[in-house]
Structures are given as C-alpha cells and as structure tokens.
A and B are shown apart, each in its own frame.
Chain A
Amino acid sequence: KAGVTQTPRYLIKTRGQQVTLSCSPISGHRSVSWYQQTPGQGLQFLFEYFSETQRNKGNFPGRFSGRQFSNSRSEMNVSTLELGDSALYLCASSLGSTTGADTQYFGPGTRLTVL
C-alpha cells in the first residue's frame, strides 16, 4: 500500500497570506489527523476528521481550519498567516477504530515558512 502523501512538501509564504495543505491517507483509512511540529512546542494536535466530519479539535485559533472529502483526502487551511505559524505540518491517517486507539501513520509533512 502507498503511504500517506502530503503536498506540497515545502512552502514559503508572507505574513497575512493564506495557505492550503493537502493530505492523502492510506487507502482504506478513514481518519485523518493534523499536527503542527515546532522546535519550541513539539507535536501539537490540530484536528481530526473522520467520515468528512471534524471529530476532535486542538487548542488552535480559528485561523486554522480543515476539511475532509468523501475519498478521505483532507486539506487544512491557515488564513492570515503569522510568523509563528512557521512549522512542519504533519498529517496522520488511521483506520478510525471505534475504540479510538489507532495506529497513526504519518506523512512526510509540509514545511511551511512564513516570512
């Protein structure tokens, strides 16, 4: 099976712009989670989507949003970019079990730099 893919891999934006990142999960996986990774804050949970519905949300401002399509592909959007949004954005896919304790498979990430 192909792994989790994320596009683009690298992105440079300026403050105030918006950005959309894409994630294609492993075939058959219905849950997609998004994380922000920075040297200072580590890996922080943004949100999780399952069957096109946001099931869980982390503590990020409303500028961070996402969605999931019927084929389980997911996008996240960050509006009005700030310098502090520079980070590695990781998406992880999982089967989406009813127990909630899934193995997560991470994609390679999108490295976002905000100038």
Chain B
Amino acid sequence: GQQVMQIPQYQHVQEGEDFTTYCNSSTTLSNIQWYKQRPGGHPVFLIQLVKSGEVKKQKRLTFQFGEAKKNSSLHITATQTTDVGTYFCASGTYKYIFGTGTRLKVLA
C-alpha cells in the first residue's frame, strides 16, 4: 500500500535558524497536505498542494510539491519558539495516509 516517509524524525534548532522537513513517496501522490500538532494537542491543517511543482507560502512557511508529485517539503525561515511541534504530511483521497512526522524543538 501507499507509504509516505518523512525525514528527519527529530530536529533541534536554535531560535532564528531555518528548518526543513521532507516527505517522500515511492508512488505518485494525488495531493499533499501538511499539519502541525503542538505538544499535547491535535493536528491542525496548514495547507494543501495539488499541482506538480506547486509552491505556497504562509508568512515564514514555504511548502513545495515536487515536479513528479512524489515528494514535498515544508521550510520554516527563522524559527520561533511558537513553531515547536510535530509536522505531518498526509496524502490521499477520502482515506489519508500520514507521514511519520518530524518533531521540531526550538531552543531559545
């Protein structure tokens, strides 16, 4: 079945540094969604990408969908302590497969 791998599993950065998490699939993805889950919280939808090569930005966050629609990335510029949490990618139609998540810690 479809699997979505996410790397890295953990990332510790100093506040102000950049952060990137990657999502990879062996099969073509119909779409990619990104979620953020704060410690003790629930996943919160960030964005959805559907087109090959699509790039979307939300303030300091940049999301990309690969040309082959098999990978995606989330880049955070100049991290802040409020960025702490686990970032998940997910893909699917009616039935969503979630990546393993990248847990981000930001050191002040």
Contacts and interface: CB of A to CB of B under 8 A. Distances in A.
Interface residues of A, number: 26
Q: Which 6 A-B pairs have the closest CB atoms?
A: A100-B93, A56-B95, A43-B98, A106-B42, A100-B94, A101-B31
Interface in A26-43: 31, 33, 35, 42-43
Contacts of B96: 33, 45, 104
Given A42-B101, A90-B43, A48 B31 contact: no
A103 interface: yes
B93 A101 contact: yes
Interface in B28-54: 30-31, 33, 35, 41-45, 48, 50
Given A43-B43, A90-B42, A90-B43, A101 B95 contact: no
Interface in B57-108: 88, 90, 92-101
Range, interface on chain B: 20 to 34
Interface of A: 31, 33, 35, 42-45, 48, 50, 55-59, 90, 92, 99-101, 103-109
B42 A42 contact: no
A105 B35 CA distance: 10
Q: Report whether over half of chain B's contact residues are helix, strand or loop; otherwise say mixed.
A: strand
Contact of A109 (B1, B42, B93): B42
B29 to A, nearest CB: 11
Interface of B: 1, 30-31, 33, 35, 41-45, 48, 50, 88, 90, 92-101
Contacts of A107: 42
25 contacts: A35-B98, A43-B43, A43-B90, A43-B98, A44-B98, A45-B92, A45-B96, A48-B95, A50-B94, A56-B94, A56-B95, A90-B43, A92-B43, A100-B92, A100-B93, A101-B33, A103-B33, A103-B45, A103-B48, A104-B43, A106-B35, A106-B42, A106-B43, A107-B42, A109-B42
Nearest to B32: A101
A48 B94 contact: yes
B86 to A, nearest CB: 9
